[in-house]
Chain A
């Protein structure tokens, strides 16, 4: 399996990358880590005439504080989610999710922005941008804009990105002392795609939940926030009854698709099990 022939252009700046895309009349793809794109090209699921390498664009690198946010450059690699101290301190949910992303060698190349742009519904990081209330910084022919994660994921592999646009950074609100997070996934084998995965971020007042965002992946066409379950938890503590109510509410939030491997009822059951475990950990101060 080999990719169809294409032309290759290495961009040094965002403007160069956007310009090349425009000149290719959108018959182009941006490549950074390439850990999903290269197999797609090899299988000829995609066959653009031009590949624009954005790996060397300095503006899209680096992690730093900006106001109340951590700005994570789109080219930040998955392995850097584990090694970068600012992420461990200010975006610990991403740090917790990173070891579950594929295998070490994939994490050495794959990029955070690429994962969010692809929006694979079974991926960890797109779902975590929802839990974190992150904002996606996008550059395109019409200029720069920032889109809330809540508005970014539209349908299967479909996002708010328009042709010719690319993600330049992700802004994550800084983790605060009154917040707690939890992450886990259920997979048949470590490194495989999860049957069900979930991450959450809660703000507490004492032992009472003031605000919570819970995001599931591998349960539908997009990463999915479970707003009914969130609503049952806000304003109360994490007693067994309250956790059970949140688990019950998942029926209103999730509609797992038909699949030969995992029937919808089983996936919903697994989602409840996972939600119960993670809320239990939050209650213990996870």
Chain B
């Protein structure tokens, strides 16, 4: 082996230009490869609804939708998401798909300090799109990667359960 080929690093010191469709809008950002997607969303695009918590994939505060699936934006680099379609809590809120979940979280005080709420909503939204009528056990199982430091789990599970029932009865505000 002849040592590290320094020509590989020609791009390294440069900032890389990445393009996404975020919340339905085409955007371009200039990032260093080491910049995580959550930092890019918050710092470059000023979409601060996505929260950086543990930055280890354990707490779930940073969940966003990437190409339609919930992912930890702290567990990928922005360069990896180049070309992807991303929905953050801001976009999901504007589109109204979460309106009934948000109303129910509010009604039941399922958001206390609110820090975990964006991730909880992204997760709950995906769960209800995959399983129309999850049991409470399935809801808890799906939320196992989302930490609420105020321990609001009971109210959060209640809210998701109530929305699932309302939607299946045709009363959901979707």
Contacts and interface: CB of A to CB of B under 8 A. Distances in A.
Interface in B51-90: 55-57, 60, 63, 66, 69-72, 74-77, 79-80, 82
A20 B140 CA distance: 43
Contacts of A1: 55-56
Contacts, number: 117
B170 interface: no
Nearest to A82: B130
Contact of B16 (A8, A42, A104): A8
B130 to A, nearest CB: 9
Q: Give the interface SS of chain B, mostly helix, strand, loop or mixed.
A: mixed
A29 to B, nearest CB: 12
Contact of B144 (A9, A31, A109, A191): A191
B51 to A, nearest CB: 14
B11 A7 contact: yes
A103 interface: yes
Interface in A93-148: 99, 102-106, 108-109
Interface in A1-49: 1-10, 20, 22-27, 31, 34-35, 38-39, 41-42, 49
A3 B75 CA distance: 11
Contact of A26 (B1, B9, B33, B66): B1
A26 B7 CA distance: 15
Contacts of B77: 3, 8, 34, 38, 51
B79 A7 contact: no
Nearest to A55: B80
B144 A24 contact: no
Contact of A104 (B1, B79, B126): B126
A189 interface: yes
Interface residues of A, number: 42
Contacts of B79: 8, 10, 53
A42 B55 contact: yes
Contact of A6 (B34, B63, B146): B34
Given A25-B2, A34-B76, A106-B57, A7 B145 contact: no
A106 B74 CA distance: 11
Interface in B3-46: 3-5, 7-9, 11-12, 16, 32-34, 36
25 contacts: A3-B34, A5-B32, A5-B33, A6-B12, A8-B11, A8-B77, A10-B79, A10-B82, A23-B4, A23-B8, A25-B4, A25-B5, A38-B57, A38-B74, A38-B77, A39-B56, A41-B34, A49-B4, A79-B69, A103-B144, A104-B123, A105-B71, A106-B72, A108-B70, A190-B144
Interface of A: 1-10, 20, 22-27, 31, 34-35, 38-39, 41-42, 49-51, 53, 55, 79, 99, 102-106, 108-109, 189-192
Given A25-B4, A106-B75, 6 more contacts: A7-B33, A8-B77, A34-B75, A35-B57, A105-B57, A192-B144
CB-based closest 7 A-B pairs: A103-B145, A191-B144, A7-B12, A8-B33, A23-B5, A108-B69, A25-B4
